[in-house]
A and B are shown apart, each in its own frame.
Chain A
Amino acid sequence: MEHIRLPKVENVKLLDRISHRRRRVGTLYLTATHTIFVESEAGVRNETWVLHSLVCSVDKLAATPSGCPLLIHCKNFQVLHFIISKEQECHDIHLSLQRLSHYDELYCFSYKPNVDEKERRQEWDFLDLKADYSRMGLPSSLWKLSPVNQHYKVSDTYPADLFVPESATPPVIVGSSKFRSRGRFPALSCAQGESHTAAICRSSQPLSGFSARCLEDEQMLEAILRSNPCSDFMYVVDTRPKLNAIANRAAGKGYENEDNYSNIKFQFVGIENIHVMRNSQQKMLEVCELRSPSMSDFLEGLESSGWLKHIKAVLDAGIFIAKAVAEEGVSVLIHCSDGWDRTSQVCSVACVLLDPYYRTLRGFMVLIEKDWVSFGHKFSHRCKHVVGDPKEVSPIIDQLLECVWQLMEQFPCAFEFNERFLITIHNHFYSCQFGNFIGNNQRERIELRVHERTHSLWSYLWANRTDYTNPLYRPNHSQTQGLLRASTSPYSFKFWKGLYNRFDHGMHPRQSVEDYLRAIQEETQQLEEQLSSHTQVGQGYADLPQA
């Protein structure tokens, strides 16, 4: 490959991030897809593989007497600190890596595991969003599948298949979409089974400016309200801080005026925008990277990054919505500005709190497929799959995973999946190894023919589900049922070292309770099999005629 100026460098040192005195010596290889470091100490075959598409930045530091340092930061929070003895070699590797990580072609289009075409096509059938809607009892007498966005005519960032209130006619939907940013009209995200009629809907902000109204938009909300016969009002939740929403009015956007819509209760929940979140995570990661920080350095840094405050804000918003639906029986419409960042977060968190199904392995995949992939979270921009505007990059999806992790810490028996599942999904949001998160919306994925050319993460995860199963989960456990009543007291939030210090193995518990329990459960299963076969043999003896 023409980008690789130097395919192999020997006598490279890889420093331990915590203690620079610990170092490994080996050979560095560059391939078309990976950087590989092979430790050369006799007897150990220790390899570190880093996918080029996971590389976030490559920095060459000032040369020192021991060599020339090369620092690689990855999107999965791996940091590699190499020392290359010759400056020229370091320069060549640096240049090669810079080009290799600015990929011409995404990795998923060249990733070819040993799977035939038929199986590959089946991978994409593994998850079916329609099946999830029918699990919710849809279509029903209250909600119908609308063909209005076929060929992405009404909103090019929305999915083609959308559920809307039974009473919403195409003119109302189209009218409403013209009054919403990017045409993202109110559509159903999640309905709570047959006994409950309260639903969660999502949209973008209305183009209300200071005084504009739209009759169809008002009718659309009226229709949502009517699809919940049990309640005479609904909540409209704007997930932005009030000040941001007010500022949007000057640009002809804004938020719903309670006077114009009948029977809505309007509420701000104050989640900050993508720029604040990006800077916050950056600061938090700087704290994670400090070498031997004091406890004060760490806690002060964590506080000033604001990261946990933002996680708490997302969870607080999710809890507000889950309670409105489950306890008050009131439907909720959620939006932010475009309705693909904060809105997706809050919808998903509320769903996880409300519905035990989304706390299962398959259910959580469905949730990401629904609220994020299909509703047009801009993975390509947010996760920087291709070089673009750095201001579009933001760890919005990381925050969803973290909210779920925080809940798992509070409810250890309620989730079918484990931390490893979340971390693996995180890795693949960024790796571009699978086609699921390529592009910014459904329309782009169809144009890229993702389903024809790539593999799906979900069936890969499902095939390896034993690795991702929480041994404490039981479908019939009381904690598994119904609404999760989470605490959002500040002290209930922990720092997620499993993700942000993922590669600093020295920081993690040296023994894993989960692995121990999984081993026990496997043994138990074998014992159960033995028991039944012994019992059969024993039965055989008993059936023999006595001599």
Chain B
Amino acid sequence: MLLYIMEFAELIKTPRVDGVVLHRPFMPTVEGTLCLTGHHLILSSRQDNTEELWLLHSNIDSIEKRFVGSLGHITVKCKDLRVIQLEITGMEECLNIASSIEALSTLDLVSLMYPFFYRPMFEVIEDGWNSFLPQNAFKDLESMTDEWRLSEVNKDFSLCPSYPPLVAVPKDFDDETLKKVATFRHGGRFPVLSYYHKKNGMVMMRAGQPLTGTNGRRCKEDEKLINATLRPGKRGYIIDTRAINVAQQAKARGGGFELEANYPQWRRIHKAIERYNVLQESLIKLVEACNDQSHSMDRWLSKLEASNWQTNVKEILTTACLAAQCIDREGASVLVHGTEGTDSTLQVTSLAQIILDPGCRTVKGFQSLVEREWLQAGHPFQQRCAQSAFSNSKPRHEAPVFLLFLDCVWQILRQFPCSFEFNESFLVLLFEHAYASQFGTFLGNSAAERARLCLPEKTVSLWSWVNRPQELERLTNPLYEPNSLVIWPSVAPQSLLLWEGVFLRWNRSSKCLDEAYEEMVHIIEYNKELQTKVNSLRRQLAQLETEDPLLHTP
């Protein structure tokens, strides 16, 4: 620990500067002392009634500096898309602060991240690290069907480094077979159970692409494995999240797709969900459009269109609806994969579950979904969320895959505002914590990495913090009424909106919309309050009537 602290001390050239002026969107200007610690940028005016700024270095996406005389301006652009300005007098101080922020915000070493230093200031009611264990999820499955088993074949992460130690597979397939299948699938990601549709017993599985290569390699065990999930005489659907030409090209690099000849009981459908580098480009363009100051409607609409963000939302949602339709309407089982099976595949499988399964629309159910279909399923959060829309460096593995998923959930929430137990704030919170957090939940790229980092022992889980009454109250949807039905969202362009809560959050005042939300809460609370009063009065009256039978005579 001491070593780390010394390391930070070396990076901090100037730990504090007085007389720094902070400009934030839609907030009053604050003048105060700027302090740099190992993990935070803090600005404090030391006066009552002014909000301090505590900014995690890991939330900083990029900084820019310029000078007017000896007055330095530092623009700090954050991963949550906020842009703030600091005015620092004195060229040397300003340069020191800028280079310190730059160094501290680009530390690569995971073990230096804040979650390893953070100590909770709240009482943990339920340890989030134990809230969503695969064993428990499997118990629910066992209560519905006995056709699946929990395999420990990957318990040391050797078969598939991106899978969790426990995965659900068809009961009749032993671990030896799974090992063979793993060699035939990208990254060893053999087909595993993603979702069991209680209503008709159909299943959704996910995997990596089959490694057919140019000469059409096949794997009998793979074919048997996925056929085992079909009902006699029934066909299934393979949803390949890549356009057919992209899937064709993958053959040259050893990948490919399931040939009809080898999988005669399956119908393959190709959908075109963009790959991660294209998505990152899309996010950058969208955020640039939102920050355009030209006030021209033509320019805004054409930039919005050119960013392709809404197109991506529509494509992902359409594919998820397709998967859900195959399962619920066609009564068929589904296998979803793209290339690696860690990005678009997870968008589709998790959104399909939101559509099909009312359980996923509760607070706990949604957390469980994120845990199962994203964290355990090996979405590389660390790589994807390393940089956001303001990054100057060339993107490597960054991509807003998870943000797009949240955006799609928000779209469904907008269309079914009473069917979700959580509200928009919960989705925004997940977006923020995926990119920068004091909690360890989104660190690492896979279950294997998280195990190596000993996150449950060394860091606090986001769920430990969220699942306390005071936080839940803020994140709960007051309109919620459990809806056991499948919910089919509209994917018409008219129905899909720009997610203002994320993309315009810092560009416009949300005061009036917040007031409307409060008014809504007030209307509902007042109703509940009256209900309680009326009920208690009724009880009292009933009691009085029994006590005084004379009153019954007219």
Contacts and interface: CB of A to CB of B under 8 A. Distances in A.
Interface string A510-528: 1111001100110110011
A492 B498 CA distance: 10
Q: Secondary structure of the B side of the interface?
A: helix
Given A299-B310, A510-B487, A531-B533, A524 B301 contact: no
Interface in B285-303: 290, 295-302
Contact of A531 (B418, B493, B498, B537): B537
B310 A527 contact: no
A488 B550 CA distance: 70
Contact of B495 (A497, A516, A541): A497
B230 interface: no
B302 A303 contact: yes
B35 interface: no
Contacts of B512: 410-414, 479
A299 B520 contact: no
B297 A308 contact: yes
A504 B490 CA distance: 11
A43 interface: no
Contacts of B487: 510
A490 B296 contact: yes
Interface stretch (A34-42, A87-95, A227-235, A289-297): A289-297
Interface in A482-504: 487-495, 497, 501, 504
Given A295-B311, A497-B494, A516 B301 contact: no
Interface in B449-508: 479, 487, 490, 492-498, 504, 507-508
B348 interface: no
B527 A490 contact: no
Nearest to A298: B493
Contact of A511 (B419, B496, B516, B541): B419
A530 interface: yes
Contacts of B295: 488-490
A309 B302 CA distance: 12
Given A412-B516, A491-B304, A520-B527, 6 more contacts: A299-B301, A303-B302, A491-B504, A507-B490, A538-B537, A541-B551
Q: Secondary structure of the A side of the interface?
A: helix
B515 A302 contact: no
A196 interface: no
A37 to B, nearest CB: 23
B63 to A, nearest CB: 25
Interface of A: 18, 288, 292-300, 302-303, 306, 308-309, 312, 410-414, 471-472, 474, 477-479, 487-495, 497, 501, 504, 506-513, 516-517, 520-521, 523-524, 527-528, 530-531, 534-535, 537-538, 541, 544, 547
29 contacts: A293-B492, A296-B305, A299-B301, A299-B310, A303-B297, A413-B515, A413-B516, A479-B516, A488-B295, A490-B296, A490-B299, A491-B300, A491-B304, A491-B504, A494-B497, A504-B492, A507-B494, A508-B495, A509-B415, A509-B416, A510-B415, A513-B520, A521-B527, A524-B526, A527-B527, A527-B530, A538-B540, A541-B541, A544-B551
Nearest to A542: B544
A295 to B, nearest CB: 4
A472 B524 CA distance: 11
A21 B208 CA distance: 35
A208 B244 CA distance: 68
Contacts of B419: 511
A306 B300 CA distance: 12
B523 A308 contact: no
B261 interface: no
A495 B297 contact: no
Contacts of A479: 512, 515-516
A98 to B, nearest CB: 31
A520 B527 CA distance: 7
B515 A477 contact: yes
A472 B494 contact: no
Given A293-B493, A509-B417, A523-B527, A534 B538 contact: yes
B541 A534 contact: yes
A302 B301 contact: yes
Given A472-B520, A531-B530, A295 B298 contact: no
A276 to B, nearest CB: 14
B414 interface: yes
Nearest to B310: A295
A541 B550 CA distance: 11
B189 interface: no
B137 interface: no
B144 interface: no
A319 to B, nearest CB: 12
B519 interface: yes
Contacts of B490: 506-508
A308 B296 CA distance: 10
Nearest to B297: A309
Contact of A288 (B298, B494, B507): B494
